[in-house]
Structure 1
């Protein structure tokens, strides 16, 4: 009977000596990949109404957040250690505005040797941070806090790849 590998043996970002390393994906075939991440920022209804009316003093909140999300996707490798720089072939952003929240979904596509879920997550979190930055004056309460403002439920909701040969 064979023994189960120790947890350390399953880590792909460490050497046999336990040193941190970037995973070598050089021998993997190029594969078309897609990842979608989603998250939301919970806001006061009056702030959401101001976003919809385009009356936030800093400008168009959703357009600015979209630019921030796309830029974050393109630069993920610069801020996450061991993350490969990958060729991004497409980024789609979608906002859903509800009475007390703004939801952001970021879909990232690549053709390469590794997935793009980190890029999708980075796009969502940065896009939502941009929303917060642009509306923080409207969200601040009398005590200077943000009791209703929360970034929440961030996660990967889709990850897929087409193996070489179209399967």
Structure 2
């Protein structure tokens, strides 16, 4: 990995990276986020007992939808034809929910931002659906877990 910011030109101005000469390769990225809340809030979300409905299903769909709009929301991101996006939601102890988003494509640029946006949007959706019962929730630990494909090779976050 280079030591320079790829979205800046020689004059230090923001620009979209030219990916025209990059090879088309299979690319995959996994990102996570965490929703921290009171144990009773976590149990209510996971048990599907919120008045707004099945929060887990809504959060999964929200994450997938957000990943497809990454280039509209994050400046300088390229529109990407995603071949697959999945959002998994599970308990992480009694006071947290772990959201794991995976994005895949076969293209000229990576899908890290798509996975990160899916994971964070799913967490924010859970927050929105449960805020009536717990406004002290926190969305945290939004991070890239792993990526594969492309010139920079594979990456895996160290625990």
TM range (shorter): 0.7 to 0.9
Structure 1 or 2, whichever has the larger Rg, is: 1
CA distance in 1, matches of 2:124, 2:107: 28
For 1:156, the equivalent position in structure 2 comes to: 144
CA distance in 2, matches of 1:57, 1:28: 48
Determine whether 1:132 maps to 2:127: yes
Q: CA RMSD in A?
A: 1.7
Q: Output one character per residue of 1:4-31: Cα deviation in whole Å (capped at 9) or x when no partner.
A: xxx7xx3322222222211100111101
Question: Is the 2:109–2:150 Cα contact (8 Å) retained in structure 1?
Answer: no
CA distance in 1, matches of 2:36, 2:50: 16
For 1:3, the equivalent position in structure 2 comes to: none
CA distance in 2, matches of 1:162, 1:18: 25
For 1:39, the equivalent position in structure 2 comes to: 33
TM-score w.r.t. the length of structure 1 is 0.84
Q: How many residues align?
A: 149
TM-score w.r.t. the length of structure 2 is 0.88
CA distance in 2, matches of 1:139, 1:109: 34
CA distance in 2, matches of 1:108, 1:132: 22
Q: Output one character per residue of 1:65-94: Cα deviation in whole Å (capped at 9) or x when no partner.
A: 001000011000101011011110001111
DSSP-derived class of the 2:149 partner: strand
Runs of 4+ in 1 over 3 A off after TM superposition: none
Gaps of 5+ in 1: 1-6, 141-145
For 1:77, the equivalent position in structure 2 comes to: 71
Task: Mark the CA change 1:46 to 1:11 in structure 2 (over 3 Å): closer, same or farther.
Answer: closer
Question: Is the 2:48–2:56 Cα contact (8 Å) retained in structure 1?
Answer: no
